[in-house]
A and B are shown apart, each in its own frame.
Chain A
Amino acid sequence: MDTTVVTGKEGKVWGGGESPLNVSYGKMMMWFFIVSDALTFSGFLAAYGFSRFKFIGSWPIADEVFTHVPFLHGQEHPMIYVAFMTFVLIMSSVTMVLAVDAGHHLNKAKVTLYMLLTIFGGLIFVGSQAWEWATFIKGDHGAVQTKGGNILQFGEYQTIDGKEVFKRLAIKDFAATIPHERVQLDRKSGVWFMSEGSIPSYTIEEVTKGLEAHPNVLVRTEQLNEHGHKTVLSREESINQLKNNGKIVVEGANLHVNEYGTSLFANFFFFITGFHGFHVFSGVVINIIIFFNVILGTYEKRKSYEMVEKVGLYWHFVDLVWVFVFTFFYLV
C-alpha cells in the first residue's frame, strides 16, 4: 500500500501536526466564541440604534436620566457614577492581565492575588449596576403618559445665577389629594388569573387638579427643539394637553412604560445592560472557579496557566462590550 501517512514534518505550516495559528485549541475556540458573542451584542446595540434613529426627535436625554450617585441624595451629577463603574471595570481588566502575566512566569502567589482583585472588581461592578437599575426603576419625578403613548413631564422656570432655567418637579410636589377608593387588584380578591401591577401614588385627576392649582408648573413634552432641549409648553397648552390627552400616571420604569420617555428606552436599557451584567456575573463565577483551581495548584502541576489566559480573554471581552454600552447609552 502506498497510502502512507504524512505527518507534515516536511516544513509546511498547513501540512498537519502543527498548530498553524500558534494558539492552542482552547484559546482559539475562546476567540471564536468571543466573535459570536460580539456579534450578538452588536445586534442589540444596532437594534438600539435603529429605534433611536426612528425616534430621533424625542429620544430621552441620558444626562437627565442617569444623574444619581450613591449617598448624594437630591443632587444631580450626570456621568459621575457611570464613569466610576467604567474605571472599576478597566481596573479589573488590568489586574486580569497582570494575573495572566504572572501565570507566564509560573508565579502562583501573584496569580492568586491578581485573580482575587479581579473578582472584587467584578463584584463592585455588578453591585453598582444593580444599584443603577434600582434607581432607574424607582424614578424620582414621575410623569403622565398620554393616550398616544407620549410622556409628559413637569417642571417650572427658576432663576439660578441670573439665568432662567427649567427645573424638573416631582408629581408629589404639586399634586392635589382627592380621597378615593381605588384598590389594587390581586389574584386573591378577583378571578384567579386577573391581577394588576402596583397602582401609582396619584391619579390623573389629582395631577390635573394640582397643575391647575399651581400657576408656576408647566408641562414638558418628549419632543426635542432645535437646541436639542425638550419642548416646554405654555401654561395654557400645559393644562389643555394634560386634560385632553393625559391617561395614566407613571412612576419609575418597567417593561411597559417609563417616566423618562418612549417605552423602548427602558426596554433597551434593561435588556442590554442586563445582558451585559449577566456576562459580568458569569465572568465572576468563572473567575472564582479558576481562582480556586489556582489555589489548589492545578495549573502549578500542569506547568501552564493557560486556563487563566482563557478566562482572561472572556473577562476583557466583557470590558470591551462595556466600553461600547457606555458610549451608546450614556454619551452619544
Chain B
Amino acid sequence: MAHAHQLQILRGLVKFKSVTQKIWGVLILLSIITTVEVVLGIYKPESLMMKFVGMKVLNWIFIILTLAKAYYITWDFMHMRDEKANLRRMVIWTTVFLICYLLFILLQEGGYIESVYSSSYIRRDF
C-alpha cells in the first residue's frame, strides 16, 4: 500500500496534516451539507419555490448538495482521490454517462405520459 495520500480538499483551500485529520474534516463538511438540507427541507422557504429549468430552485439545491456529498464520499472515504486517473475515469465516466442516459429517457417518458393523462380524454378523477 504505497499510495501517497493527498491531504487537501476543496482544491487546496483546506489542507490537513494527517489522513485521520482529513477524515474528520470531511465528516464536518458532510454534516454541514446534511444540516443545510434538513433545515431547508423542514422550513421550505417560499423564496426558493420558483421554477428554474422545469424544477423548483429548492429541488435543484437539494440535488446539487447531494452530488457534492457523493463526491466527497467517493473521493475521500473511498480514496478515489488517491487512485490512478485511469481507474477513476473507468469507474466514474461509465457510471455518470449511463445514469444520465437512463434518467433522460425515463424522465422524458414519464413527463410525456403525464401530458397524455392531463390533456387527453382520460378521466382519473373518480
Chain A interfacial positions (CB closer than 8 Å to B):
20-23, 28, 31, 34-35, 38-39, 42-43, 46-47, 49-57, 63, 78-80, 83, 86-87, 90-91, 93-94, 96-98, 100-101, 104, 146-148, 150, 223, 228, 244-245, 304, 306, 312-313, 316-317, 319-320, 323-324, 326-327, 330-332
B37: chain A residues within 8 A (beta carbon): 327, 331
Kindly identify which residue among B34, B59, B77, B124 contacts A332, using a CB–CB cutoff of 8 Å: B59
B102: chain A residues within 8 A (beta carbon): 42-43, 46
**Given contacts A47-B106, A316-B77, A323-B66, is CB(A97)–CB(B117) below 8 Å?**
no
B70 touches A50 (CB 8 A): no
Kindly identify which residue among B62, B76, B83, B110 contacts A53, using a CB–CB cutoff of 8 Å: B110
B109: chain A residues within 8 A (beta carbon): 50
B77 touches A101 (CB 8 A): no
Chain B interfacial positions (CB closer than 8 Å to A):
1, 3, 19-20, 23-24, 27, 30-31, 34, 37-38, 40-42, 44, 49, 59, 62-63, 66, 69-70, 73-74, 76-79, 83-84, 86-87, 90-91, 94-95, 98-99, 102-103, 106-107, 109-111, 113-114, 117-118, 123-126
A306: chain B residues within 8 A (beta carbon): 1
Dominant secondary structure at the A interface: helix
**Given contacts A55-B114, A57-B118, A101-B19, is CB(A319)–CB(B107) below 8 Å?**
no
Least CB distance from A293 to B in Å reads 18
Write the chain B residue with the least CB distance to A327. B66
A150 to B117, CA, bound (A): 14
A90: chain B residues within 8 A (beta carbon): 27, 30-31, 34
A93 to B29, CA, bound (A): 14
Write the chain B residue with the least CB distance to A149. B124
For chains A and B in complex, what number of residue pairs have CB atoms within 8 angstroms? 147
A28: chain B residues within 8 A (beta carbon): 87
Least CB distance from B6 to A in Å reads 14
The CB with the most chain A CB atoms within 10 A, among B38, B66, B109, B118, is that of B38
Closest 5 CB pairs of A and B: A53-B110, A50-B110, A148-B126, A50-B106, A327-B66
A306 to B2, CA, bound (A): 12
Kindly identify which residue among A94, A96, A327 contacts B62, using a CB–CB cutoff of 8 Å: A327
Write the chain A residue with the least CB distance to B65. A327
**Given contacts A35-B95, A46-B107, A87-B34, is CB(A245)–CB(B41) below 8 Å?**
no
B20: chain A residues within 8 A (beta carbon): 98, 101
B77: chain A residues within 8 A (beta carbon): 93-94, 96-97, 312, 316, 319
Least CB distance from A67 to B in Å reads 11
B91: chain A residues within 8 A (beta carbon): 31, 34-35
B106: chain A residues within 8 A (beta carbon): 46-47, 49-50
A101 to B31, CA, bound (A): 21
B117 touches A54 (CB 8 A): yes
**Given contacts A54-B117, A104-B1, is CB(A49)–CB(B83) below 8 Å?**
no
Write the chain B residue with the least CB distance to A34. B91
Kindly identify which residue among B49, B63, B73 contacts A93, using a CB–CB cutoff of 8 Å: B73
A147: chain B residues within 8 A (beta carbon): 126
A194 to B50, CA, bound (A): 52
A176 to B66, CA, bound (A): 47
